[in-house]
Structure 1
Amino acid sequence: MTDDSKDAPPPAAADRAAERAARQAANRAEREERRAARQAERAARKGSDKGRDQPQPAPQPGTPAKAAAPQLASSQVFNILLVGQGQRLGVQAVLFAASLRRNAPGWRGRLIVAEPRPEGAWAGSRTAMPEPVRRALADFGAEILPFTATCFGASYPHGNKIEALTLLPAGQPFVFFDSDTLVTGPLDRVGFDFSRPAASMRRSATWPEPPLYGPGYTQIWKSLYDRFGLDFASSLDPDQPDEHWERYLYFNAGWFFGADPQEFGRRFLDWAAQIRAEPGEALACQSLDPWLDQVTLPLVIHALGGGRPGPELAGLDGWATCHYRNLSLLYAREPEPVAGLIEDLAADPRIAPLLAEDEAAQRLIAEGEGRSRIRPMFDGENPPPTEKATRQRLRRAGLWFR
């Protein structure tokens, strides 16, 4: 006689599985309710487009403040570059592409996902995106183009964004975005001036870290400008005091743009390689990993006549895009529309299967821990904690996922 009890899960495990399934069902229902409300709101907004000169309704209490997108669309056509590599970056690229098609339907241009070949500086590594990811990217109108990394590769993966610029057509304006970004508004209405390149200011005092007895910020940064024949004084923010980190041109490389990707990429690659090979005496005590791209980027932008982004670019890291970094940070610090967007995208039948084995997506989105646990941990904190403190708190709670 067969003992079927051998195959049955222990009562405690069965209870946990039932509880988990109930949580998932409840969260699905809640997400659908929120999704229906957002769809109704979007439909109402579309209906009001015929009377754009009429006063706009006041925001509901509790709604995060968010600058409105300009009403006039830009006539500029530009290409977008992302990096897609393996499962994780590939799925992030899918989420970007889906959010682009959803929230910037008026954008025109090519969406190019650069995929490093498993050769050159990536030799011996698995770099290809899985086939289901590739199909999803194609469904959302992305082009996958391969490139061979010759300089950085596995020794410095952030170098992908530098070497991938060679894929873009010369003389055509471009914007690079880190793959862990969502498009949250009409990107075509951002006031780009491609003759004056810029990059993200969503950064903190991560580099350099001047030693106690010097050299200080001025000596470190000036050594780099002098090395490449650039005017250091004109890069400074005179409103900031000497030796304060914000006085010096420093960006987050989560997005940057320019008029000619070939010229931009040539300088970026050449100068980054030189700095890594021979940092110089002023940089002797400084770490370049993972900061090399952010050390070099200000030099390239300054050399090409650019600088700090002005108010016309407020949509980036604002109403047009969100560089969320990962799901844990998204739920910890991003506004409600961004959380709602990622949940809507995760429910898309073209995307949901790609997240089935992703622990972060399953726990934070499907099981609702992003809303039930992470958001209450940080709700109402003003000022919000630093990213380092946020990560530490999430790790202690077992809610930090790579």
Structure 2
Amino acid sequence: MFNILAIAQSGRLQYEAILLAASLRAHDPAFKGRLFLATPNPGPLWDHDPRITDAATLSLLADLGAELLPFDSRHFGSSYPYGNKIEAITHLPEEPFLFLDTDTLVTGPLSALPFDFARPSASMKREGTWPQPDLYGPGYTDIWKSLYDRFGLDFAASLDLSQPDEYWQRYLYFNAGWFFHESPRRFGKTFLRFASEIAAHPGAALACQSLDPWLDQIALPLVIHALGGGRPPASLGALDTTHSCHWRLMPLLYARESDDVVAKLEALAHRPEIAAVLRGYPPFKRMIYQQKGAEVRALFDRANLPRKEQAMRNTIKRAGLWTR
């Protein structure tokens, strides 16, 4: 048994959390763990109140079996909201956990997957977004090695030697959309330490590299390597394929995901109790209920999608259909 953690707060994430919770209950009815939605409390690091206050949303999330997990932001807050996932982990019960980004649909039984929680891993559904080496250096090897050396980690053991030198896939790099481990306490403390130290003192090798929004994805491979993990085994291939979909933004879901994912999304979204809440969020109203998502879908051939996500975004924007 394991628990699931996602982040929820006022605005877009509260509506995404409804779809996540509903899809978990619909497509993994045998799941015996707890679904925690970590919600940051207001405080000096927030320039607004991040809590979910809408009564209809809170009632629906409770009906779907989600448990709110309030926590105080002591390191990130408004300046880096991606840091929520880093700070929230240690507030979980000390049991195996799977973190999911809130913009995830569960499309198959996660509880049936053979997780080895003693060997942490994370999503490989990523592009080579970081680092972006300067023409005159340092390169991928020098940048990543500087981080492994800083934390006393074995850089050589992290490499995929089937990939060429100075090619981004040679280096351990994940999407932070899902990751797991047996100990929230150890994982969360390690994640917070590594991320905080990198943010405070990037070092010479990172001097020309952007840390925002990439800080979580810079620290994550170091955490996983430090705790004895690595790239996910083939046995977890159902994540990001048949059993979960990290859809990112609704126009991108309609642009690139399978007919099965779209059908499951719309079946959930049109349940009366869910539609009553989601229609109140303009991007979802436009994409799902006003059927603009179908117009986005007609712009693309799923068998021949653009190689880069940015190209998809540009096509959707030119058609006047982009929404966040």
> Common fold, TM-score beyond 0.5?
yes
Matched with 1:209 is 132
Contact 2:257 2:302 in 1 (8 A): no
What is the CA–CA distance in structure 2 between the aligned matches of 1:264 and 1:120, rounded to whole Å?
Answer: 26
1:106 to 30, 42, 51: 30
* Deviation for aligned residue 1:369: 2.0
2:228 to 305, 311, 315: 305
Matched with 2:17 is 93
For the pair 1:186 / 2:186, whether they are aligned, the reply is no
Matched AA of 1:311? A
* Deviation for aligned residue 1:348: 1.5
Matched with 1:80 is 4
For the pair 1:392 / 2:318, whether they are aligned, the reply is no
1:139 to 55, 63, 70: 63
- Percent identity over the alignment is 57
TM-score, structure 1 as length reference = 0.79
Matched with 1:70 is none
Query: Structure 1 residues 127, 383: CA separation in 2 closer, same or farther (over 3 Å shift)?
Result: closer
Contact 1:240 1:247 in 2 (8 A): yes
* Deviation for aligned residue 1:346: 1.2
- The 3-state SS of whatever aligns with 2:93 is coil
What is the CA–CA distance in structure 1 between the aligned matches of 2:239 and 2:213, rounded to whole Å?
Answer: 23
Contact 2:194 2:219 in 1 (8 A): yes
Unaligned 5+ residue runs, structure 1?
Answer: 1-76
How many residues are matched? 323
Contact 1:87 1:133 in 2 (8 A): no
1:276 to 199, 219, 223: 199
Matched with 2:323 is 401
Matched with 1:12 is none
- The 3-state SS of whatever aligns with 1:378 is coil
1:379 to 287, 301, 312: 301
| CA deviation string 1:369-391 (max 9, x = no partner) | 212x1111112552544111001
* Deviation for aligned residue 1:145: 1.3
Contact 2:258 2:302 in 1 (8 A): no
Unaligned 5+ residue runs, structure 2?
Answer: none
Contact 1:116 1:160 in 2 (8 A): yes
What is the CA–CA distance in structure 1 between the aligned matches of 2:205 and 2:25, rounded to whole Å?
Answer: 46
* Deviation for aligned residue 1:326: 1.4
What is the CA–CA distance in structure 2 between the aligned matches of 1:187 and 1:380, rounded to whole Å?
Answer: 25
TM-score, structure 2 as length reference = 0.97
Matched with 2:83 is 159
Matched with 1:47 is none
What is the CA–CA distance in structure 2 between the aligned matches of 1:385 and 1:250, rounded to whole Å?
Answer: 19
Contact 1:240 1:246 in 2 (8 A): yes
Matched with 1:264 is 187
* Deviation for aligned residue 1:355: 1.9
Matched with 1:20 is none
What is the CA–CA distance in structure 1 between the aligned matches of 2:299 and 2:107, rounded to whole Å?
Answer: 24
Matched AA of 2:154? D
For the pair 1:368 / 2:291, whether they are aligned, the reply is yes
Matched with 1:66 is none
What is the CA–CA distance in structure 1 between the aligned matches of 2:310 and 2:278, rounded to whole Å?
Answer: 27
Contact 2:279 2:289 in 1 (8 A): no
* Deviation for aligned residue 1:274: 0.5
* Deviation for aligned residue 1:306: 0.3
Matched with 2:73 is 149
Matched with 1:72 is none
What is the CA–CA distance in structure 2 between the aligned matches of 1:360 and 1:142, rounded to whole Å?
Answer: 23
Q: Which of 84-93 and 350-359 deviates more?
A: 350-359
Matched with 1:319 is 242
* Deviation for aligned residue 1:368: 1.7
What is the CA–CA distance in structure 1 between the aligned matches of 2:35 and 2:10, rounded to whole Å?
Answer: 18
Matched AA of 2:118? S
What is the CA–CA distance in structure 2 between the aligned matches of 1:174 and 1:380, rounded to whole Å?
Answer: 33
* Deviation for aligned residue 1:191: 1.4
What is the CA–CA distance in structure 1 between the aligned matches of 2:181 and 2:44, rounded to whole Å?
Answer: 27
Matched with 2:158 is 235
Contact 2:316 2:322 in 1 (8 A): yes
Counterparts of 1:325-344 in structure 2 under 5 Å? 325-344=248-267
| CA deviation string 1:69-114 (max 9, x = no partner) | xxxxxxxx00000111003101111110000000001111011000
Query: Structure 1 residues 359, 134: CA separation in 2 closer, same or farther (over 3 Å shift)?
Result: same
What is the CA–CA distance in structure 2 between the aligned matches of 1:245 and 1:174, rounded to whole Å?
Answer: 28
What is the CA–CA distance in structure 1 between the aligned matches of 2:141 and 2:108, rounded to whole Å?
Answer: 38
Matched with 1:175 is 98
For the pair 1:200 / 2:118, whether they are aligned, the reply is no
Matched AA of 2:309? E
